[in-house]
Amino acid sequence: MIRAGILGLAALAAATAMATPPSLPLPNDAAIAGQAMPATLAEYGFFADAAAQVPADRVTPFRLNTPLYSDGAEKLRFVYLPAGAKAKADGENLLGLPVGAALIKTFAFEENGKRRLIETRVLLHRADGWLALPYLWNAEQTEAKLALAGARVPVTTPTGEKIDYRVPNKNQCKECHGLNGVVTPIGPKSRNLSAEWLAGFAKAGRLDTIPAVATRLPLWEARADASTEAAARAYLDVNCAHCHRPGATASNSGLDLRWEQDDPRALGVMKRPVAAGRGAGDFLFDVVPGHPEQSILAHRMNSLEGGVAMPELGKATRDPDGIAAVEKWIAGL
């Protein structure tokens, strides 16, 4: 049943990519690639119907096989390419998106049986690099305004927890999206996109070639069918490795949780913490094989306390599924 749903979603995404009706509005290239920081999301024209998250022309929805956990928020992801532009495949790595392209991600929670949009984050590829901006939706769901300083919004998560959901400020975007000092996309790596979607994107003329992917990140909902290691490593790659890698926010920790990293010590196995402070709890190593209950990695994923909790941003609730996947992996090491 889950599988059918996923396939349906992929098919929908592919269909949208390939057969966009000509009557749809076009996004505003000047707003996307210009110098200004537009005050409202509407100025970009990414959506034919923003409240319903119906994309405009040349705006293609996609999903990630294993997504980043954000307090259980539903996420709607889109990529925009200007007229005539193509994304460039780079093996199983991040798709190369040209200047003028944009990535759009809306975060939503269910409220009274309806989807409530909270924020839409945009990543704009401008001539001087990528710019990340957060837009906060109003209560009426009629408009999303630039929220440079971020915000907190009370929401109820899918598991019924009432939280002050954090909309990041502009700088905090860079804490996750910063690599070697510049803002960079994280999500759309070929290995974390479905083969069907990539094929459809290429067939629609938006991708230069269908990239070869040796090992694809497992579909999160179907992780039971994947190996324990693949599920856990995919989760760590997507949720942690944008900081825990060379050149990124947590590079000084020496912990490298990327999918492509295969040195056990870099992955935290019997690695002592450096500047974990009290985040280490009473534990000595990031990962103790066979013992998730003694591993700092799991300890910090399980915590909600500032200074201990990991990730530091974008988390007010524990992710029981992610924790279970990582703990199972550590237990089996």
Partner 1 sequence: MIRIAIAAALLAAVSTPALAATHQVAAGDGAQTRLQEALILAQPGDEVVLGEGRFMLDDGLSLDADGVTVRGAGMYATVLDFTGQQGAGEGLLVTSDNVTLRDFALENPHGDGIKSKGADNIVYQRLRVTWTGGPKETNGAYGLYPVESTGVMIADCEVSGASDAGIYVGQSKGITVRNSVARFNVAGIEIENSRDAIVEGNMVTGNTGGILVFDLPSLPVMGGGNTIVRNNLVVANTTPNFAPKGNIVAGVRRGTGVMVMANDGVLVEGNTIVDNPTSGVMVVAYPMKFDDKTYNPYPRNVVVGENIVSRVGYDPQIDGKDQLLAAFGGSLPPVLWDGLSQDGTVALKVDPSMTGWTLGLAAQGGGISTAEARPGPLKVGVPAVGFALTGAGAPAELEARLVP
Residues that bind partner 1 (CB under 8 A): 148-152, 164, 166, 169-172, 174-175, 178, 181, 246, 249, 251-252, 254, 265, 271-285, 296, 305-308, 312-313, 316
- CB nearer partner 1, residue 30 or residue 275: 275
**5 Cβ neighbours under 8 A, 6+ residues apart:** none
Which among 91, 85, 79 is positioned nearest to 205, based on CA atoms? Answer: 85
- CB nearer partner 1, residue 55 or residue 273: 273
Shortest reach from residue 64's CB to partner 1, in Å: 23
Neighbours of 280 (CB within 10 A): 18
Shortest reach from residue 308's CB to partner 1, in Å: 8
Shortest reach from residue 250's CB to partner 1, in Å: 9
16, 35, 60, 61, 98 from 206: Cα distances, Å? 13, 25, 9, 13, 11
- CB nearer partner 1, residue 172 or residue 239: 172
Tokens read off for 191:
């290995």
Give the CA-trace dihedral at 328, 226, 185, 147, to 10 degrees. -60
Shortest reach from residue 45's CB to partner 1, in Å: 25
Shortest reach from residue 304's CB to partner 1, in Å: 10
Q: Could you give the residue ranges of the DSSP H alpha helices within the chain?
A: 2-18, 29-33, 170-177, 195-203, 228-239, 296-302, 320-332
Q: Provide the 3-class DSSP secondary structure of residue 82.
A: coil
Report the distance separating Cα 215 and Cα 251, nearest Å.
25
- CB nearer partner 1, residue 141 or residue 251: 251
For residue 146, give the amino acid letter: L
- CB nearer partner 1, residue 60 or residue 302: 302
- CB nearer partner 1, residue 15 or residue 275: 275
For residue 78, give the amino acid letter: F
Shortest reach from residue 89's CB to partner 1, in Å: 30
Shortest reach from residue 23's CB to partner 1, in Å: 38
- CB nearer partner 1, residue 174 or residue 242: 174
Report the distance separating Cα 301 and Cα 265, nearest Å.
19
